[in-house]
Amino acid sequence: MGDVLELQHVTVRRGGRNIVDRIDWSVDEGERWVILGSNGAGKTSLIQLAGARLFPTTGQVTILGHTMGRTNAADLHPLIGLTSSALDARIPSVEKVHDVVRTGAYGVTAHWREAYDEEDDSRARGLLDALGVGSLADRTFGSISSGERKRVGVARALMPDPELLLLDEPASGLDLGGREELLSSLTALARDIYAPAMVLVTHHVEEIPEGFTHGLVLRGGGVLASGLLDDVLTDEILSECFGLALEVEKTGERYTARASRSSLDRSA
Ligand SMILES: Nc1ncnc2c1ncn2[C@@H]1O[C@H](COP(=O)(O)OP(=O)(O)OP(=O)(O)O)[C@@H](O)[C@H]1O
């Protein structure tokens, strides 16, 4: 039984098909999971289930000891940090970066009438510094680069001191420099023993930060493979996942993948 997250035979049915299909999965404290899969495999749906934002059609989802359907999901939201492009898009571009992070304490996207104390201010400053974007505190969210926005989003998600951190495609759309800077911040977080359990969604093995421990590979809404990263990031599993012969390489703790030479020769 995962002490952070436990999914038992979970299905989500939409439009007459299972977009999440009989998934069993558990996450324990200290684990750092990557969810990998092709477009439409069900990654975002799974993150939404893990974040108590989506409910199973059948099966049981238990988050931090609370079973969905028997608890008020909104009560769990402050315990779950979430970053996604959809969430970033809801933040007003005129909002100051410092406020973007502070408002994360209340789970709102714009400063209104919430009361903040000195402790909130210094926590927001500390998180921005830890993510390497402390110098942007007084800039507006709309004026910073997309890579900087992603790091501000992680700082914001950490503001309520969550017990579970969910990162939906944090590196998507970043250039090489922006990606590497973000990955280095996420590696520092992954290696911090006081950091929450983490789940990161990506399409690309190159976007897996060092320090991540486990992988869940999805195909067609179901689990293709689950376990320690090295056990699931194999040529065979990734080839089946993406429907193409792939070769995976590991250098240090980072992975790269490319179409296998033999499949390229065949298609030439
Ligand atoms: N409300 C809905 N009604 C019908 N189908 C839906 C609904 N929501 C999601 N889907 C479908 O469920 C599948 C899984 O969607 P999901 O967004 O979870 O996939 P994903 O792996 O995150 O995809 P991507 O990598 O493209 O972001 C997709 O085929 C999507 O079109």
Q: Whole-prediction pTM value?
A: 0.91
Question: Would you say residue 51 has pLDDT above 60?
Answer: yes
Quote ipTM for the complex: 0.96
**Residue 113's pLDDT is what?**
57
Residue 163: closest CA among 76, 79, 66? 79
- Residue 177 confidence class, pLDDT cut points 50, 70, 90: confident
Helix 146-158 and helix 176-191, axial crossing angle in degrees, nearest 10: 20
d(CA 8, CA 2): 11
Closest Cα to atom 13 of ligand 1:
40
216 within 8 A of 226, measured Cβ to Cβ: yes
Per-residue pLDDT tens digits for 57-102? 999 999 999 999 998 998 898 899 999 888 888 899 999 999 999 8
* Cα first-last separation, the chain: 49
Torsion sign over Cα 202, 179, 196, 29: positive
Closest Cα to atom 18 of ligand 1:
42
Ligand 1 binding pocket, CB closer than 6 Å: 14-15, 19, 37, 39-45, 203
d(CA 211, CA 177): 19
